[in-house]
Structure 1
């Protein structure tokens, strides 16, 4: 009888001993659904993000991996992001790698404590996750995001707040103002090129295709300027950005002028 009472007492005390009575997290996770049960807040944030809405979908395991003890530290390292964002030679990754932050990251990343939160300047050089998943917000569209600098409007304060973790407000404001000015110079070149193309409807099919191809290159070079401003990469602000835009504009103008020389308008 005493043994039965003792067993009953242990059963009653079991939830108190083990916390809420929930099962401890698995060592290995096999599917994203297993993560959602314990992380509903992060899942809701993720649902609003580009990771959830674009194809291929970047789910929990894609970034965190399946080993529960390393899910946080693994997802905070840049190597997780590289494969899905154009590889090491792609403009997105290379523009960061060629920046001061990127160089510091390569030199020091093996000495960082990757278990620390993505906030409070815990890392001397911010990586992809620090800026784009700031303070563990799983909506990569909430803070620093690529399309924020695509629109001709003020940069959201959420982006500025990330930089203010490490930099003084006045310095941060100056950098963003410089970036806006740099982008506006690039946009003017792009608008001029588009106006030239619209004013040349007489171009033949092959010539029109060649001009449109050059215009597409110009859009990519304008994107390089955005990446250069956002990642603070001089190479992408200039060598892969503004001079490339100058060349695109000159080529488009030259192609249209050449066509008009070869096909002069006959007087009526």
Structure 2
């Protein structure tokens, strides 16, 4: 038997053993899930050998805890949801009066085929619609691994008392998600829910726990960011507790931010309803909906990198139905994707995407000066291991050196611009600073080049030069970093990044010189006027 056949046989034996364990009637135990980090169990006060229902209850309770990131946040009294908000954050959802009637679990699709046929077709194409089709897959089918996942889901539900011993799960229908697992009937107005991440987590306990463990695996050593952030698990809190987001009156515009930050609330941002295709979720385009644009252009940089070029040239030959763990082993990938780099740790896929984060979402001096701290050094080694799936460790280290130093070089330019602007502000010489500078909306406070200036304007606040400065630190520096991190040469040299930063600091310096010369000219005019009066 050749090595490849032996490896396939061993994988089959292991999968069969796991499947037998999961279907043998024993409770699902979290200790069999190494991708759920120890930090989560410690934070929740649990042992690793707790059954799935105990783990789920603890994770879901924290997920719904308003003291730990759930709800409208610390500025709740400053804003009210608009109609569309309830569809982005299920916690804000309220049933409509015209839907006050009783429904039966099996009736949803027959009605919605004529009302909203699009999502019915999506659900028909999903794994949820026919779980027996998964059970019938031959072992050489790329999707055969889903049998093990299905057995895990059934074991989870049995541990919760939601699935009888020996009873297979035949389908995941509308009511299971929108009323509750195995709920047979309810009122369309008062009982219907928009599923949040905890609803998905009831079946997918491991994946939900992985995602929620982001809160526990990123605690910055010099408090560069709040604990657990930036992350998908607390992204909505970060949105709601941004001062200008809460304070601005243009709520329809503000909800554009929520559309991406809803990753805390739902799984739908990556696993598009109602098909929830894992194959689709493995493709870079899924990430592009949020990870694009002026302040985090990861998708553009990836697609213009050599990695993205190979994906665009060869991706149609890769087997997207295979699990991410098989990407380079047997699925045919010969370049990384967003998912292979950011959803992998120690060779295993995970929904915790922050265990390798080093620079966060804003390069800052307190990070640049502490990259030799164990927190950052250990994460760098994880990146070397990730890159070494395709590159030599020496190449990976060389590129990471370039990325870190190039990011710090951009940071220096931003600091020059910040210092020049602060000096102008302290001198009181910004356009209209004394005569026409209203304060930003509460809870924000006035500051030179503040983030609020990208979303609000009144009088001469912000001035044009402050807007340019905010673009520097919030957008251009990020493009410098993202271009380096994703190896797109134009992304950090000419097109974006460095050249933009140079241009911005030049404009700020010119404005500083102009305003100071104008101040001196005004002083000279006053001096001459006073002399004439004498």
Query: How would you bin the TM-score normalised by the shorter chain?
Result: 0.7 to 0.9
Instruction: Establish whether residue 124 from structure 1 lines up as the match of residue 334 from structure 2.
Output: yes
- Normalising by structure 1, we get a TM-score of 0.81
Cross-structure match for 1:136? 349
The whole-number CA distance in structure 2 between the counterparts of 1:132 and 1:144 is 9
Instruction: Establish whether residue 211 from structure 1 lines up as the match of residue 461 from structure 2.
Output: no
Counterparts of 1:13-162 in structure 2 under 5 Å? 21=166, 23-24=168-169, 26=171, 30=177, 31=195, 32=197, 35-49=200-214, 50-55=231-236, 56-58=261-263, 59-66=266-273, 71-86=277-292, 91-119=297-325, 122=328, 123-134=333-344, 135-143=348-356, 147=360, 150=363, 151-152=367-368, 153-154=370-371, 155=376, 156=379, 157-162=381-386
The whole-number CA distance in structure 2 between the counterparts of 1:177 and 1:117 is 32
Kept in 1: contact 2:295–2:478 (CA 8 A):
no
- Normalising by structure 2, we get a TM-score of 0.43
Instruction: Establish whether residue 182 from structure 1 lines up as the match of residue 400 from structure 2.
Output: no
Q: Which runs of 5+ in 2 are unaligned?
A: 1-22, 26-134, 136-150, 156-165, 178-194, 215-230, 237-260, 434-447, 449-462, 528-534
Moved over 4 A (4+): 15-20, 27-34, 87-90, 265-268
107 and 175 in structure 1: CA distance in 2 versus 1, 3 angstrom threshold: same
Kept in 1: contact 2:211–2:232 (CA 8 A):
yes
Cross-structure match for 2:161? none
Kept in 1: contact 2:271–2:277 (CA 8 A):
yes
72 and 170 in structure 1: CA distance in 2 versus 1, 3 angstrom threshold: same
C-alpha deviations, 1:145-199, integer Å up to 9, x for none?
7617723133523333221221111110000001111112111111111122222
Cross-structure match for 2:11? none
Q: Give 3-state SS (helix, strand or coil) of 1:196's partner.
A: helix
The whole-number CA distance in structure 2 between the counterparts of 1:28 and 1:52 is 26
Aligned equivalent of 1:223, options 468, 472, 478: 478
Q: Give 3-state SS (helix, strand or coil) of 2:324's partner.
A: coil
The whole-number CA distance in structure 2 between the counterparts of 1:205 and 1:112 is 57
The whole-number CA distance in structure 2 between the counterparts of 1:170 and 1:148 is 26
The whole-number CA distance in structure 2 between the counterparts of 1:75 and 1:173 is 29
Instruction: Establish whether residue 237 from structure 1 lines up as the match of residue 488 from structure 2.
Output: no
Moved more, 152-161 or 211-220: 152-161
Moved more, 221-230 or 207-216: 207-216
Kept in 2: contact 1:132–1:144 (CA 8 A):
no
Kept in 2: contact 1:78–1:128 (CA 8 A):
yes
198 and 204 in structure 1: CA distance in 2 versus 1, 3 angstrom threshold: closer
Kept in 2: contact 1:131–1:144 (CA 8 A):
no
Kept in 1: contact 2:305–2:488 (CA 8 A):
yes
Moved more, 22-31 or 158-167: 22-31
C-alpha deviations, 1:66-114, integer Å up to 9, x for none?
567x732121111221123237997232111111111111111111111
Q: Give 3-state SS (helix, strand or coil) of 2:355's partner.
A: coil
254 and 145 in structure 1: CA distance in 2 versus 1, 3 angstrom threshold: same
100 and 79 in structure 1: CA distance in 2 versus 1, 3 angstrom threshold: same
Q: Which runs of 5+ in 1 are unaligned?
A: 1-14
260 and 149 in structure 1: CA distance in 2 versus 1, 3 angstrom threshold: closer
Kept in 2: contact 1:120–1:165 (CA 8 A):
no
211 and 118 in structure 1: CA distance in 2 versus 1, 3 angstrom threshold: same
Aligned equivalent of 1:255, options 473, 490, 511: 511
C-alpha deviations, 1:4-35, integer Å up to 9, x for none?
xxxxxxxxxxx769987352363667445564
